[in-house]
Structure 1
Amino acid sequence: MARKRTTPPRQTQARGAKILSAYLENADVFRTAKTNGTNPRGPAVLVLRNRPDFDKKDFDRKARDLVRLGQQGRLSKAKSDRTANNVYHQGGRGTKPGTRTRTNVFRDRVTRRLTRNRRLTQEHGTRETNQYLANKELVERLYGGRGPIRARGEGLDPDHIHELQLDGADTYANLRLMDAWTNRELGREISLALRDVPEGTPVIVKVLP
């Protein structure tokens, strides 16, 4: 009696496989070097690819910037430092002083700038007379980005244009808003792609169409 199939056919599995937004083209070189305890030669080649669940406009902009930075020789595997994004915040406007991440301070600054007009509440007025109404969707996505994100469009994150994990500077000038889901998933998969790459290794970026 033939055994009952318990897994989908290979063709179906391949078609339904998850698309990675970042992987290392020469990963085998770095895995082998790590296993043998040797120093790999050449730069790490990071390949980026848009996922169907990403915000394509934000992904394309991010990818273009990383390609440019790689061509300029400014990308390398950074040291792992979970406190690198921390900054002392003096408080004010409903926030307490203390250590916070620079990205959260940036988020609050943008939100305050968009809601500065307190003359009218969000339920009254028109877009022309009420700054909150004029930026309502943007403000809501900024607030949405404070918590867990499950899909594209649910929130906005301050994103480091030059990735911290690729030796970018943690400055406000290096931050801009990006779809939170795209930002977090792409950043996570870049980190996984670089896991076997030694700190200080130069990185170049390619983008698949």
Structure 2
Amino acid sequence: MSDTVRNDKDLTDRLADRVTSQADEQESGARPQLRRSRAGLDRTRGRGSMAAAVESGAERILKAIEDAEDQLHKHLQDVSKGVRAMGENHARNDKNIETMLNNIVNRSRNQDTVRDGGGIGKDRPDASKDPHTVTLEWKPGMPKQAFERKARALQRLGEEGKLFKFKGKTEDYRDKEITKQYKGALEALIRRNHKDDPEFANEAAEAARAMQPDHVNELQTGGPDAWRNLRMLDRTTNFDIGTQQIRPQIKDLPDGNPINIDIKWWPDD
């Protein structure tokens, strides 16, 4: 962290408040998805021994996700306290995990400086242009809850005026180490949390490894390349929505053009 940030208390406090706010947003976005997943499990209860075994395993995985979300929120709160205190550390965390998480936070901050203040098409939309509607369509092979969570999040961001055609090539802006280390930290947390049950730890870690960290607000629609904008998503939904659906619908738009989202369920709404 620069000496400027260390010595400017007002700037430090604003940064801490921003991180705390992001922690609250992260937690509030995670809980409804977990509740919906559990509601789906409730509909299958009592349908035989095979269903019971599946339910039991799925419940454990959902609990592991919930615990990881709690830890992520708490870590953000710790980062906020650490920024204000300038010297407090995270001694209660495993050192390896702490190092990975701090690397992710620092790289995300660096990415924010690249985008912030960049002007129309970088950090804000062009308010003089009419919004362009992008249609997101569920297709067979996509987990319905995963598609709905992703599509609804984008729809909400569009309604809030936070979606727009990003200026330039996203690959020139993206730091791939953020998603790589995010995924690594998640796996490390799973293994640490379930070290007394290595078989389950391996199963849960493998399931997480098969998924991808997804930018909830796509980089191509103005989303930050920061860990606070990441959520794990299945590969099929992630690739199809970002590459097969959004990209061809916005590639010819002017930089900064606002975007709204319409959601369609295949074959009929």
Instruction: Tell me if 1:161 matches 2:216.
Output: yes
Amino acid at match of 2:248: L
Alignment correspondent of 1:55: 143
Aligned partner (choices 71, 82, 85) of residue 171 of structure 2 = 82
Choose between structure 1 and 2: higher strand proportion: 1
1:206 aligns to what SS in structure 2?
strand
State the 1:60 CA deviation.
0.2
2:187 aligns to what SS in structure 1?
helix
Tell me, which stretches of 5 or more residues in structure 1 are unaligned? 1-39, 87-99, 120-128, 144-154
C-alpha distance 206-113 of structure 1, shift in aligned 2 (>3 A): same
Alignment correspondent of 1:42: 130
Amino acid at match of 2:254: P
C-alpha distance 137-199 of structure 1, shift in aligned 2 (>3 A): farther
Contact 2:194 / 2:201 at 8 angstroms: preserved in 1? no
Instruction: Tell me if 1:103 matches 2:179.
Output: yes
| Whole-angstrom distance in 2 between the partners of 1:141 and 1:184 | 18
Contact 1:77 / 1:167 at 8 angstroms: preserved in 2? yes
| Whole-angstrom distance in 2 between the partners of 1:117 and 1:72 | 37
Amino acid at match of 1:55: P
Alignment correspondent of 2:207: 141
| Whole-angstrom distance in 1 between the partners of 2:193 and 2:146 | 29
| Whole-angstrom distance in 2 between the partners of 1:69 and 1:118 | 35
| Higher-Rg member (1/2) | 1
1:176 aligns to what SS in structure 2?
strand
| Whole-angstrom distance in 2 between the partners of 1:194 and 1:139 | 35
Amino acid at match of 1:85: R
Alignment correspondent of 1:196: 252
State the 1:135 CA deviation.
4.1
Count of aligned positions: 136
Alignment correspondent of 1:26: none
C-alpha distance 136-43 of structure 1, shift in aligned 2 (>3 A): same
| Whole-angstrom distance in 1 between the partners of 2:174 and 2:226 | 9
Amino acid at match of 2:136: L
Instruction: Tell me if 1:187 matches 2:242.
Output: yes
Q: CA RMSD in A?
A: 2.0
State the 1:41 CA deviation.
5.3
Contact 1:85 / 1:103 at 8 angstroms: preserved in 2? no
| Whole-angstrom distance in 2 between the partners of 1:43 and 1:117 | 45
2:253 aligns to what SS in structure 1?
coil
C-alpha distance 200-117 of structure 1, shift in aligned 2 (>3 A): closer
Contact 1:78 / 1:166 at 8 angstroms: preserved in 2? yes
Tell me, which stretches of 5 or more residues in structure 2 are unaligned? 1-127
Identify which of structures 1 and 2 has the higher relative contact order when contacts are C-alpha pairs closer than 8 Å and 6+ apart.
1
TM-score by length of 2: 0.47
Identity of aligned residues (%): 31
TM-score by length of 1: 0.60
Contact 2:170 / 2:219 at 8 angstroms: preserved in 1? no
| Whole-angstrom distance in 2 between the partners of 1:138 and 1:51 | 26
1:158 aligns to what SS in structure 2?
strand
C-alpha distance 133-42 of structure 1, shift in aligned 2 (>3 A): same
